Amino acid sequence: MTPHKIAQEVTGEELLNKYMIQSSHPVVKSWVKQFMLNTGEVDGEYVGRLYWNDDDGYSIVFDHNTPPEADRPEFNYILDSLTRQDYYNG
């Protein structure tokens, strides 16, 4: 029986010396955002996570309470739009 030879770990320098390396920006296949909605009233806080993936689109999970608008069409999309950083930065 021949013993297995353990290959030496590749290094960045080794690859750079041998190849010209090019790549594109990463393709985002899915993400998750944590969010909180708060009306300022007692029991008016809604905390959850908004998920999106390339195959299924949006899904949402609330920790405790669910706001009444959550079952309406486009809720997840609008929440995503309103929580995008560029929405606040103009």
For residue 48, with 0-12 CB atoms within 10 Å meaning exposed, 13-18 middle and 19 or more buried, which class applies? buried
What's the pLDDT score for residue 4? 79
What's the pLDDT score for residue 84? 86
Mean pLDDT of the region 75-86: 89
pLDDT in tens, 7-35: 899 999 999 999 999 999 988 899 999 99
* 23/12 Cα distance (integer angstroms): 15
What's the pLDDT score for residue 80? 95
For residue 61, with 0-12 CB atoms within 10 Å meaning exposed, 13-18 middle and 19 or more buried, which class applies? exposed
Reference 60, options 49, 72, 73; nearest CA is 49
Three-class secondary structure of residue 78 per DSSP: helix
- pTM of this structure: 0.68
Tokens of 21: 């390396």
What's the pLDDT score for residue 28? 86
Tokens of 49: 């996570």
* Percent above pLDDT 70 for the chain: 92
Domains of the chain, residue spans: 25-89
